[in-house]
Amino acid sequence: MSTWGLAWAWIRFRPLGAALNVALLGIGTATIALLMISLQQFEQRLTADADAVDMVVGAKGSPMQLVLSTVFHVDAPVGNVPAEEVQFLEQHSMIKQVIPMALGDGFRGFRIVGTDTSYIDLYGAELAEGRLWDAPLEAVFGAVSAAQTGLGLGDRFVGEHGLSEAGGPTHDDFPYDVVGVLAPTGSVVDRLVFTSAATVQIVHEMDPYHDHDHDDHVDEGHHDDHDDHADDAHHDDHADEADHDDHADDAHHDDHADEADHDDHADDADHDDHADDEDHADHADDVELRAPEITAFLVEFSTPMAAVALPREINQSTVMQAARPAYEIQRLLRLLGFGADVVRAFAVVLVIGAVVGLFTALFQALEERRADLAVMRVLGATQRRLFWQIVVESLILTVAGIALGLVLAHGVAWGASLWLWEYSQILVSFAWADGEIVLVLTVLGLGVLAALPSAIRAAGIDIPRVLSGG
């Protein structure tokens, strides 16, 4: 009977107590491991989505809101950016690429992002079927948004005003054609619906709903700039459209009414064409030619120096704000870190409680086995052998507890990954988290530590006294 064999026999001799020790250790270990896995997954997903973007430039406001709304698409946009400021970005020597983003609408909870096709390249997404958009009112779905809405190639849909999952009034006159579906990427791209920036502009500015529901835009942080509209020729072109009367009370349109060139446009041949036009797509073609109003720009630097100099320059010398996703993520993780620390502290208390339980169980078992241990000495066991006999028993229980904990943690993570894939096609790994090996070694060390008092006591057992019943 080896040391391991005898330790196992002793464990089997008190199955309930041993199972309790293992369960307590397992729960503590699982809690910490699951927290590690979740945090790592969360950080990896955030980082993966943000890594592609060096900087976001948008309207002034909260930089975190700007990043959350334009990179992760989880918050309301801050506002819109004046067109002339866009030129500043495009012409800047430290900027390699500028990708426009126009937000404001959604479809069944999935955001419609008006952008150009370089956004797709930014995340390395590939088409599963169809093609990318190249004309107004053409849309491409991400893998998750396609799967969950059930839309595919050749289908038509209309956008809903606003970005809430509950949806809002629909832009019925501007149906989108689905021209492509992207393959899963595991990034934020999967959960979006893409179209051109100009399309978003068309839908918002030509749909009568746009002005009626202006307050909704404000609530969502999507602030239309009235002054910009005042200077926008677009409104003049449509001054006599059939729906103009509906806007008669709108202060915004009153401003337009006083504009000097309004009457000129009223007789414009182009305008007449529009007035009789039943096909809104023709409107779209016209609008696309004008400078779009943009929610934000995703910026790629041409030099690492830009990371330091450019945000400050933009924040100080323009009406826009610059936000760095990498920095904002770290800030977000620090904010979330407090909550994680609380859970971690709770889990550490669980593990320590389990180790104290193990210590108590071993010590109690030792008292019950004093005669066994004394007889082992009589039979030739050395003090060292008895010491290790107790440590090995603790090790078996600890390893079982750790194994149970890891199986629980990774099992839950695996289940969550299946669930997330089934319902949202989010790719979640249940692989080892970086700190898990440290966790395993720490719990193992605590298990040995819990055994030491009993092991020392076992090694120093008084054979004659025990065997004579003392």
Partner 1 sequence: MTDSQSEVSPQPETAPLPGQVPAIELAAMTVGYGGAPVLESLDWRVERGEHWLVIGPSGSGKSTLLHVLAGFLSPVSGTAKVLGMDLATLANPARDRFRGGNMAIVFQRQHLVQALNVTQNLGLARRLAGLDPGPEIVHSTLRRLGVDAFARTRPAELSVGEAQRVALARALVVEPKILLADEPTASLDDRNAATVAELLAQEAERLGSTLVMTTHDARVRERFARRLVIGEGGSP
Q: What is the residue type of 425?
A: Q
Beta strands in 188-227 (DSSP E): 192-195
Q: Which is nearer to partner 1, 340 or 467 (CB)?
A: 467
Choose between 281 and 375: whose C-beta lies nearer to partner 1.
375
Among 1, 16, 166, 289, binds partner 1 (CB under 8 A): 1
Least distance to partner 1 from the beta carbon of 339, Å? Answer: 46
| Beta strands 95-107 and 110-115, pairing class | antiparallel
CA distances from 16 to 23, 28, 80, 361, 368 (A): 10, 18, 65, 11, 16
Residue 283 binds partner 1, judged by CB under 8 A: no
Q: Do residues 420 and 426 lie in contact, with contact meaning Cβ atoms separated by under 8 Å?
A: yes
Q: For residues 13 and 8, what is the distance between their CA atoms, to the nearest angstrom?
A: 8
Which one, of 202, 223, 206, 234, lies nearest residue 296 by Cα?
Answer: 223
| Binding-site member from 356, 378, 431, 438 for partner 1 (CB under 8 A) | 378
Cβ-based nearer residue to partner 1, 11 or 68: 11
Closer of 108 and 370 to partner 1 (Cβ) = 370
Q: How many Å apart are CA 370 and CA 296, to the nearest integer?
A: 75
Q: Is 10 in the site for partner 1 (CB under 8 A)?
A: yes
Tell how strand 138-141 and strand 192-195 pair up.
antiparallel
Q: How far is the CB of 4 from partner 1 (least distance, A)?
A: 12
Q: Measured from the CB of residue 43, what is the shortest distance to partner 1 in angstroms? A: 48
Q: Which of 338, 339, 379, 470 binds partner 1 (CB under 8 A)?
A: 379
Q: Which two tokens stand for residue 230?
A: 């005042």
Report the distance separating Cα 277 and Cα 56, nearest Å: 39
**Among residues 191 and 377, whose Cβ is nearest to partner 1?**
377
Look up residue 156 and give its two tokens.
Answer: 């038509």
Which is nearer to partner 1, 46 or 458 (by Cβ)?
Answer: 458
- CB nearer partner 1, residue 16 or residue 379: 379
Stretch that binds partner 1, among 101-109, 116-124, 450-458, 459-467 (CB under 8 A): 459-467
Contacts with partner 1, 111-150, as mask; x by CB under 8 A: ----------------------------------------
Which is it for the CA torsion 13, 17, 21, 22, positive or negative? positive
State the nearest-atom distance from the C-beta of 362 to partner 1, in Å.
14
Say how far apart CA 24 and CA 357 lie, in whole Å. 8
The answer to whether 382 contacts partner 1 (rule: CB under 8 A) is yes
**What residues from 338 to 377 belong to the interface with partner 1 (CB under 8 A)?**
371-372, 374-377
Rounded least distance, CB 26 to partner 1, Å? 23
Alpha-carbon gap, residue 29 to 324, rounded angstroms:
36
Q: How far is the CB of 419 from partner 1 (least distance, A)?
A: 44
Helix, strand and coil percent figures for the chain, each rounded to 5: 60, 15, 25
- In three-state secondary structure terms, 351 is helix
What is the spatial distance between Cα 369 and Cα 323, in angstroms, rounded to a whole number? 67
Told to check if 19 binds partner 1 by CB under 8 A, we report: no
- Bridge-based pairing of strands 170-182 and 127-130 is antiparallel
Distance CA 257, CA 230 (A): 10
Residue 13 touching partner 1 (CB under 8 A):
yes
* Choices 161-169, 238-246, 381-389, 449-457; region in contact with partner 1 by CB under 8 A: 381-389
Question: Which CB, 260 or 379, lies closer to partner 1?
Answer: 379
**16 near partner 1, judged by CB under 8 A:** no
| Helix, strand, or coil (residue 368) | helix
For residue 82, the tally of other CB atoms under 10 A from its CB is: 18
CA atoms of 331 and 333, how far apart (whole Å): 5
In 296-388, the DSSP E strands lie at 296-301, 320-323
Sign of CA dihedral 36, 37, 41, 44: positive
Place of tokens 């904990």: 405
**Are the C-beta atoms of 107 and 190 separated by less than 8 Å?**
no
CB of 469 to partner 1, least distance (A): 7
Of 183, 384, 411, 456, the residue at the interface with partner 1 (CB under 8 A) is 384
Closer to partner 1 by CB, 9 or 342: give it.
9
Measured from the CB atom, the residue of 356 and 371 that comes closer to partner 1 is 371
Please tell me the count of residues contacting partner 1 according to CB under 8 A: 26
Using the minimum distance from each CB to partner 1, give the nearer residue, 143 or 373.
373
Region from 31-39, 93-101, 161-169, 382-390 binding partner 1, contact rule CB under 8 A: 382-390
260 in contact with partner 1 (CB under 8 A):
no
Nearer to partner 1, 85 or 372 (CB): 372
Rounded to a whole number of angstroms, the minimum distance from the CB of residue 360 to partner 1 is 19
List contacts with partner 1 (CB under 8 A): 1-2, 6, 9-10, 12-13, 371-372, 374-385, 463-464, 467-469
